[in-house]
Amino acid sequence: MRILLMGNPNVGKSVIFSRLTGVRVIASNYPGTTVSYTRGFMKLGDDRAEVIDVPGTYTLEPTCEAEEVALRMLDSGDVVISVVNATNLERNLYLTLQLLERNIPVIVALNMWDDTRHQGINIDVDRLRDILGVPVIPTVAITGEGIKELGEDLPKAVSPDTLARSRDERWAAVGHIIEQVQRVSHRHHTWLERLADASVHPFSGGIIALTVLAGAFLVVRFISESLIGYMFNPLFTNLWTPVLTRLSELMGSRGFFHDILIGKLITGEVDFVQSFGLLSSGLYVPFAMVLPYIISFYLVLGLLEDTGYLPRLAVLMDTIMHRVGLHGYAIIPTLLGFGCNVPAVLATRILESQRERFIAATLISVAIPCAALQAMIFGLVGERGWEYVAIVYGTLFAVWIFLGVILHQAVRGFTPELLIEIPPYRLPPWRAGLQKLWMRTYGFLIEAVPIILGAILVINVLYFLGIFEAIADFTAPVVTGFLGLPKEAVIALVIGFLRKDVAVGMLAPLALTAGQLVVGSVVLAMFFPCIAAFVVLLRELGVVNMLKSAGIMIAAALIVGGLLNLVL
C-alpha cells in the first residue's frame, strides 16, 4: 500500500507527513531527476503502508520539473491524501479537483483548520464532503488535531466518477463550490501579519533582513561553540586521548601503521588537529570540529525555512540578485550553500533557465564556503584573530558580486522574473523541524565521515610513498612564487578535492603566517569544489558547462589568491 501526500507548496504537507510516519524516514532522489522527496512508513490496521511526501505542486499540468515528478508519482500510488490549506480553499481546490478526475482514491485533509477561525473564514465541511464525494477531515498538523481521524478514515477514500474538465471549467467549478461552502467575515490584522507586511517593505524589510541574518550567524556560532567547548572537546580530551596515548605506546610511538592509525606525535603527544591519523584527526575533525556547525547551521536554516521567512528574503534580494543575472529566489540555494554546496547546486533547479542555473551554481561553487569549511576557518584562522576571518569572508563576498556582474554580462540569455507565493509567518513545527534536522545531520555523517577517513588514509599512504613531494616540487613555482605559500600547501589544495575541511586542517602543521593562512583558506574555498559537489555540478550543468565553470573557478582562485598575497 502506497499513500501519496499531495498539495500546493506551504500547506503543511511535511508536517502531516512527520505526524503520520515515525522518525525513520528516507530522503531519496526521484530516478533520473534531481528532485528529492521523503518517504516513511505508517501502521494501517495490521499492515505497514508506505507514505510519500510528494513535492509541492499547484497543478497536474506541470510547469517545472518538481511538478513533473509529482505527476509521475501519482501513477505509482494507491491512495492520495490531498492536503489543502483551509485558509486558501479556492486555489487549493483546483489541484484537488484535478486529483478527483484521476482514477485514484482521494481523501482530503483540510489543514490549518485553526487558522480559519481567527481569519474569519467559515467552511461547511459536511457540504464540502457531499459536493466532492470523498472524505474531508479538518486537521491542524502542528498540534496533531485530526491526524488520528485522517488515519482512521484513510480506507474510506474513494475515487468518485468525475469527468475530465478543461482549465476554465475547473476554475468555474471551484468558484461554484466556494460559493456554497465558504463564508468570510471581516477580521482584524494579527501582529504576525503586521510583521509580515513590514518584512517585505524595502526599508523596514531591509533592517529586518540584516537583523535576522546577523542573528542567525551569531546563534549558529553560539550553539556550535557551546557544543564544541562543553561537549565534544571534553569528550575527546578526557575519554579518547588516554585511549589513543595508550595505543600509541603499545604500537611503539611510530612506524607506518602507527602513523596511519594515530598519526605523527606532536611534541610527544597526540594532537587531534595536526597528527592526522585515522583515529585522531580522522574522528576529531568530522565529530568535534565540523558536526557542531552542521547541527547548528541546519537548526537555524530549518527555523528560517519553517517560519516562512525565506520567500520574504527572496523578494527583498530580488533587485540585488538581478545585478548578478539572477532573481531573488536564487538567494535560497545560495543560503543552502553555506551548509553544503551539494544540496545548494541541486536547489538551483528551482531557477527557470539554464543560464541562471549556470550562474548560480558557479557563484555558489566559487564564493560560498560550506559549513565544514567554515568550521575549520573559524577554528584555525579565528585563532589568529577575527580580523583575518573577516578578510576571508569579505574577499569571498567581493568575489561573489564581482564575478556575478561579469557573468551577468558574459553569459547569453535573459533573467526570468520572480514569481513566488509568500506564505504567512508561522510558528515552526518542532517535530517536523527536528525530523528534518536529523535527516540533514545523518546525511552529513553518512556521506562525510567515510570520505574524511578515506582522504586521511590516502594522504598518509601518498606521504609514505613520497608522491606528494614530487607534486609539491612540480607546482612550487605557482604555489610559492605566485600565492606565497610553502610548496607543501599544494597537498592541501589537492586534498581539497576530497574534503575541504580536511584540507584546511592540513594547513595547520605548516606554520603559516596569518596572511598565508588567509590566502590558503580563500584559495581552498574558491579553487575547486569537493568531489561530491563536483559530481552534482557535472550532472546539473553537463560536461561543457562544467568545464567552463571549473575554468572560471581555477582562474578566479589564482587571481584572487595572487592579489591577496600582494596585499597581505
Partner 1 sequence: MQIKNLKDLRPGESGRIAQINGGHGMVNRLAALDIRPGRRITKLSSGFMRGPVTIEIDRTQVAIGFGMAKRILVEAEDTIR
Applying CB under 8 A, which residues contact partner 1?
A: 58-59, 61, 63, 87-88, 90-91, 94, 119, 121, 167, 171, 196-197, 200-202, 311, 314-316, 318-319, 322, 327-328, 416-424
Q: Which amino acid is at 386?
A: W
The distance of closest approach from Cβ of residue 341 to partner 1 in the complex, given in angstroms and rounded to an integer, is: 27
Backbone angles phi, psi at 213, to 5 degrees: -70, -40
CA dihedral 535, 539, 541, 547 (to 10 degrees): 50
d(C-alpha 427, C-alpha 463), whole Å: 53
Contact 302, 220 (CB under 8 A): no
81 is written with which cell numbers?
491524501
The distance of closest approach from Cβ of residue 128 to partner 1 in the complex, given in angstroms and rounded to an integer, is: 16
495 is written with which cell numbers?
586534498
The distance of closest approach from Cβ of residue 415 to partner 1 in the complex, given in angstroms and rounded to an integer, is: 9
Q: What is the three-class DSSP state of 431?
A: helix
**Residue that the C-alpha cell 533582513 belongs to:** 209
Sort 473 into a burial class: Cβ within 10 Å, 0-12 / 13-18 / 19+: exposed
d(C-alpha 101, C-alpha 163), whole Å: 6
10 is written with which cell numbers?
506551504
**CA angle, residues 518, 376, 496, in degrees to nearest 5:** 75
DSSP letter, residue 267: T
Contact 94, 7 (CB under 8 A): no
The distance of closest approach from Cβ of residue 234 to partner 1 in the complex, given in angstroms and rounded to an integer, is: 47
**Chain centre distance of CA 250:** 44
DSSP letter, residue 413: S
Q: Residue 26 contacts by C-beta under 8 Å, 6 or more apart in sequence?
A: 38, 39, 40
How many other CB atoms sit within 10 Å of the CB of residue 348? 29
Q: Residue 243 contacts by C-beta under 8 Å, 6 or more apart in sequence?
A: none
In the chain, what's the furthest Cα-to-Cα distance?
A: 84
Q: Which amino acid is at 233?
A: N
The distance of closest approach from Cβ of residue 188 to partner 1 in the complex, given in angstroms and rounded to an integer, is: 14
Q: What is the three-class DSSP state of 59?
A: coil
d(C-alpha 181, C-alpha 336), whole Å: 41
| Beta-sheet strand order (sheet of 26-29) | 26-29, 36-44, 47-53, 2-7, 79-85, 106-111, 136-138
Q: CB nearer to partner 1: give 302 or 424.
A: 424
d(C-alpha 306, C-alpha 325), whole Å: 28
Contact 138, 125 (CB under 8 A): yes
**Chain centre distance of CA 26:** 16
455 is written with which cell numbers?
582522504
The distance of closest approach from Cβ of residue 201 to partner 1 in the complex, given in angstroms and rounded to an integer, is: 6
Three-state SS for 84-139 is EEHHHHHHHHHHHHHHHHCCCCEEEEEECHHHHHHCCEEECHHHHHHHHCCCEEEC
The CA-atom distances, in angstroms, between 560 and each of 129, 526, 551, 553 are 64, 9, 14, 10
162 is written with which cell numbers?
468525475
